[in-house]
Amino acid sequence: MSARTPEGRLAIVEDDEALLDQLAWSLKGTFEVARALDAAAGLALADQPFDLFLIDLRLPPSNEADEGLRLLAALRKKRPDAAIVVMTGEAERKWALRAVELGAYDFFQKPVDKAELLLVLRRALERSRILAENEALKNEVLRRRSFDRIVGTSAPMRDLFAKIEKVAGTDVTVLLQGESGTGKELVAEALHRGSPRSAGPFVVVNGSALPEGLAESELFGHERGAFTGAVAARTGKFELAHGGTLFLDEVSTLSPAIQAKLLRALESRRFERVGGKKTIHADIRLVAASNEDLAVQVKKGAFREDLFYRLNTVLLVLPPLRERREDIPLLVGFFSSRAARRHGKAPKSFTPEALEALEKMPFPGNVRELEHLVEMLTLMVDEEAVTPAHLPAATLSTPTSSTEAEEPFADAVARFEKDLLVKAVARAGGVKARAAEALGLDPNQMKYLCRKYRI
């Protein structure tokens, strides 16, 4: 009868030789086991591909709990992919909890119960493998150049990626619809990079940021002397995007007059600068975006129907984060690694409890809100592992009254957004720029939301 294949590789660090032999003997049928009697020898084992580390906290040379904590921190830094379980004495629960804060998966107290130990180790191994699979999935997504900054493996995101691949190589006009913070500009960039125009310019225009009196000039340019202050000719965004892609964000905020001029330019790919007589040709591909449903805006009379049909050749709907919560662990890892590189910090691990808490958050600001939160935690948390205790109190409780529970989902989200904005502006003494910074919003987003909710 052939020997059973080990479930994984386990390194045990314990200074009590008798206990070490007992543990190795009882676990060798389940795991491939290696042993170490002190912290230095245990750290040396990190050079080998062990899946699990089982370590005592009181180790030579100091025989203090700090010795085991230092080993834990060193192992986490050297082998962030491995799961670590710690052993403590009966009266050392505080040290065990400290170990979990530093990134240990779990702990158990001596004397050792084999059944309990085996259960803990198997769960730790499973978590380690899930994290490894998530990392592999993340790398697979990132390797796909067209989506190098769009992270997700959920069904809605796979569907979105498939649609991007279908239309990227064409010259068709694309309308992106999604809430603020869902990544519309990233999708527009992916469409541009996957198109024959990828060597050309990618020009971004935010409709909500265009001053009412200067919107036409920003889009189409102006000649010198066209209006007061026009001391020199200026090239508009349409001209700048010639041979490439023009991404027009927040298209629903454009005035009726600008909508009419935009429609004409899209139909003929020709226009005149403000104050000019020369007709200019612009060979562009247009990707437009809105966080409003333009079909609804057309019915309300707030958006031109003919322009809507011109923009709506292909509609891509970006899912809000609440509809792809299974992507949150992947996004957290991606944002933490990126923030760590950007700020010269070590990347943080997030405990399962912290990830679970994040998955329950409403995230009205969607992926952008999650990114800002993870960056803040990467910068401000001293421990290597982020736990629920590190999360802002507001993220851990989202109480709802019975009245709130009965209202339509969209109305509840809108009420939450407005309440959040009103409180932030009040705390900022009425200074909206300061409130935007506190909420992690850029000025254009803040301007749009304040106009939307009449704040």
| pLDDT greater than 50 at residue 124 | yes
Cis peptide before 111 (omega within 30 of 0): yes
Residue 372: how many CB atoms within 10 A of its CB? Answer: 17
Q: Which tokens sit at 311?
A: 């923009």
Please say whether the dihedral angle defined by the alpha carbons of residues 198, 201, 206 and 212, taken in this order, is positive or negative: negative
Q: For residue 423, how many other CB atoms are within 10 A of its CB?
A: 12
Question: SS3 for 10?
Answer: strand
Length of the chain counted residue by residue: 455
pLDDT higher than 60, residue 232: yes
Q: Are strands 285-290 and 245-249 parallel, antiparallel or unpaired?
A: parallel
Can you give the pLDDT at residue 453? 74
Average pLDDT over residues 54-73: 90
The alpha carbon of 426 is separated from its chain's Cα centroid by a whole number of angstroms, namely 28
Q: Give the position of tokens 């699990």.
A: 52
Q: How confident is the model at residue 412 (pLDDT cuts 50, 70, 90)?
A: low
pLDDT at 402: 39
pLDDT at 399: 44
d(C-alpha 184, C-alpha 228), whole Å: 35
What is the model's pTM?
0.59
For the chain, helix, strand, coil in percent to 5 are 55, 15, 35
Calpha distance 436→447 (Å, rounded): 9
Q: Could you tell me which of 176, 296, 315 has the C-alpha nearest to residue 247?
A: 176
Q: Which two tokens stand for residue 313?
A: 């050749």
Confidence tier at 403 by pLDDT (50, 70, 90) = very low
Cα separation, 227 vs 414, whole angstroms: 40
Residue in this structure with the two tokens 């190098």, named with its chain if needed? 148
Q: Which residue has the tokens 């609804």?
A: 296
Residue 186 has pLDDT above 90, yes or no: yes
Instruction: Identify which has the larger pLDDT, 145 or 122.
Output: 122
Average pLDDT over residues 162-170: 93
Which structural domains are found in the chain, ordered by start? 8-139 (3.40.50.2300), 149-317 (3.40.50.300), 322-396 (1.10.8.60), 399-455 (1.10.10)
Give 200 or 109, the one with higher predicted confidence: 200
pLDDT at 401: 40
